[in-house]
Amino acid sequence: MAQWLKDNSSDSDIVISTRARIARNVSGIPFPHKIRNTDKEELVKRPAIQKFCSNGSDFILKEMKDLSQNERNALVEQHVISRDLVGRDDGAVITSPDGSISIMLMEEDHYRIQYLTGGFNPEEAYQVAGNVEKMLGSSVSYAYNDRFGYLTACPTNLGTGLRIGVMMHLKGHVLSNNIKDLQSGLGRLGLTIRGAYGEGSTPIADCYQISNQVTLGISEQEIVQNIRQFVGRLINQERDVRNILYKNNKLELEDSVYRAYGILKNAKKMSSDEANRYLSTLSFGVSLGIMKPCRETDIYRLMIETMPATLRREAETAIERDIRRAEIIQKVID
Amino acid sequence: MLCNDCGKNEATIHSINYINGEKSELHVCAECAKNHPELNFGFNSFGFNALEPTDLIKKFFGLGNDSLIGQIANEIHCKTCNSTLSDFNKTGLFGCPDCYDTFAEEIIPVLQKTQPAVSHKGNVPVNKEQDPEDKEKDEKLQSLQEKLKKMISEEKYEEAAKIRDEIKAMKGE
Ligand SMILES: [Zn+2]
Ligand SMILES: [Zn+2]
C-alpha cells in the first residue's frame, strides 16, 4: 500500500509526493463521453491492455465494473485513480505492481497516464510518465494537431496534456492563515492550489496539491522547470513560516505536538478526522525537531493507510474500524 | 488561556498572523470565533474555492446554456460527433478531436486569455511522421520478439534460434 512513498526522498519534511499526469486521446474517434461502445473496447482499451498486460508483464488491469464502490474509493485515496474514474463503469486502470504507474482508460480522456513518486521530484515524475506515454504511443495514434498540440476533451489540457502536481503538507501556512494569499499568489504564476484529491476536494490534514494551470504554448521542460522553481521556493517559505511560528509560540506548539503524540499513542479508538488532525500536527512537530517518534514519511503513509475506504473491511462496525485505526497508528509511532 | 472576547471560556482557537513582519494574535473560544469571519480554521468552514481550470473556461464563455456564444453558434454542429457549442457550454468538454477544427474561431480567443500562447510548443507524436512501411516493420518485429520469448519459455530452443536469426535479418544486423 502506497509503496511509492519511499523513505529518504527529497524535501520529505514538507512534500508528500510528486505526480506527473499526461492526457491523451486516440485520433479519429469521439472523446469518452461521446464514444461508441465498440470503439471504446476495440480502439481505446484493447491496445493499451495488449501493450501493458501481455504475457510476462506484471502490470495489473482493473475494470471499474468489477470493483465495488469501496474498492474504487480506496484506489482514489491511494492516488492510483482519479475521482472522475470512480463514476465510470466503462473505465479501467492498468497499474504497475507498486501502484506508482497508472494508466487510466476512459476517464475524461481516453488515456490518463500517471506516475507518482515520493518527495519533490518533478523531473523524475515527468520522465517516467513520458516514457510510458511513448510506449503507449507506439501502439496508438494520438489525436494531435500542430496548433493545439495533443487534443483533449477539455481545452484546459490542450498542448502538452501534462500536469505536474506536488502534494505538500502546508501546516505552517494553514496555522498562520496564509493559504488564501498563497492561492492568489500562485495563480499569478500559472499554478493552482487545491485539496489533496483534485478538483473541488476539501483539504485533508493540511495537505494541498500545487499544480501547473497552463498546458498550451509551454513545453514539457518549461512546465517541469516552473514547478521546480516555484514549488522549490514554496518549500523554503513553508520551512520559514514553521520556524517563525515555533520561535514565537514555543510552548504552545510543543504542547500541541506532545498532546497529538499522546493521543495517537494512547487512544483506544480513533476516527479518520481525528487521525488526520493529530498526524498533521505530529508531522509538523517532527519537521521542527520537537520530537522524533518516527519519520515524516511514516506519518504520510499512515495518513493514506488509515483513510476510510482503504481501511474498511466487510462486516466491520464503525467502532471496530476506529479501534483498528488506533492500533495501526500505534504500531508505527512509538 | 481564556478567550480574548468573552473572558470566560477556554480559548480553543488561536490565530497568529504575520503581516509585513508584524505579529497579530487572537485567542478565542469556539463560540466567539463565530464572530470572526477571518478565522478560517477547520477544513469544513474553510470555504476553499480554488478557481479550477474548467471554471475558468466556463467563466470566459459565460456559464450555462444562455451564454451569448451558445446562442450565436447554435446552428453549427461538428460533422464527426454532432456536438454544438451549447453542448460544450454545458459540460466544458468537446465531443471529439475534430471539434477543435469546427469551433477553432470560438475557442482561440478563450485560450488566448487562459494559456501562455495558442501555438503548441513541446513534444510531437513520434509516429506522426513515421512511414507506414516502417510501422509495419515495427509491428512485425514486435510480434517476432513476443514469439521468441514464448519459444524460450517453452524451451523450444531450435525454433527460438530461427526466430532470432529472422529478427537479426530484419534489423539489418
Ligand atoms: Zn469567548
Ligand atoms: Zn466533434
Does residue A285 share a domain with residue A186? Answer: no
Q: pLDDT per residue over A258-317, tens digit each? A: 999 999 999 999 999 999 999 999 999 999 999 999 999 999 999 999 999 999 988 899
Give CA angle at A324 (A321, A330), nearest 5°. Answer: 145
Residues A208 and A278 in one domain: no
Q: Is residue A6 part of a domain?
A: no
Mean pLDDT of chain A: 93
Q: Which of A215, A240, A265 is the last residue of a domain?
A: A240
Residue A9 belongs to some domain of the structure: no
A261 and A285 in contact (C-beta within 8 Å)? yes
Comparing A203 with A89, the larger pLDDT belongs to A89
Q: Are residues A321 and A255 located together in one domain of the fold? A: yes
Question: Are A162 and A304 contained in the same domain?
Answer: no
Q: Do B97 and A204 touch (CB under 8 A)?
A: no
Q: What is the pLDDT of residue B53?
A: 44
**Domain stop point among A223, A240, A257:** A240
Name which of A44, A82, A156 to mutate to probe chain B: the one with the most chain B Cβ atoms within 10 A of its Cβ.
A156
Do A215 and A161 form a contact (C-beta atoms < 8 A)? yes
Shared-domain flag, residues A72 and A162: yes
**Band of residue B65 on the pLDDT scale cut at 50, 70, 90:** very low
Same domain? For A270 and A235 the reply is no
Is the pLDDT higher at A17 or at B152?
A17
- Please give the average per-residue pLDDT across A98-122, as a whole number: 97
Do the domain assignments include residue A81?
yes
Nearest to A216 among B46, B54, B111 (CB): B111
| A135 located within any domain | yes
What lies within 8 Å, CB to CB, of A118 at 6+ separation is A4, A5, A6, A9, A12, A16, A17, A18, A297, A300
d(CA B147, CA B141): 10
Q: What is the pLDDT of residue B22?
A: 53
Domain total of chain A: 2
User: Which residues, listed in sequence order, are joined to residue A204 by a DSSP beta bridge?
Assistant: A207
Domain presence at residue A8: no
Chain position carrying cell 486569455? B113
Q: Do A236 and A298 share a domain, yes or no?
A: no
Range of the domain at A269: 249-332
pLDDT score for B114: 85
Q: Same domain for A129 and A234? A: yes
Q: Assess B11–A contact: CB distance below 8 Å, yes or no.
A: no
CA distance A292 to chain B (A): 25
pLDDT level of residue B14 (50, 70, 90 thresholds) = low
Q: How far apart are CA B157 and CA B151, in angstroms?
A: 7
Which CATH number fits the domain that encloses residue A219?
Answer: 3.30.590.10
Ligand with minimal distance to B8 CA: 1
**CA torsion angle for A70, A71, A75, A77 (degrees, to 10)?**
30
Same domain, A221 and A321: no
Alpha carbons A324 and A271: distance in angstroms, whole number: 10
* Whole-number Å distance between alpha carbons of B134 and B156: 30
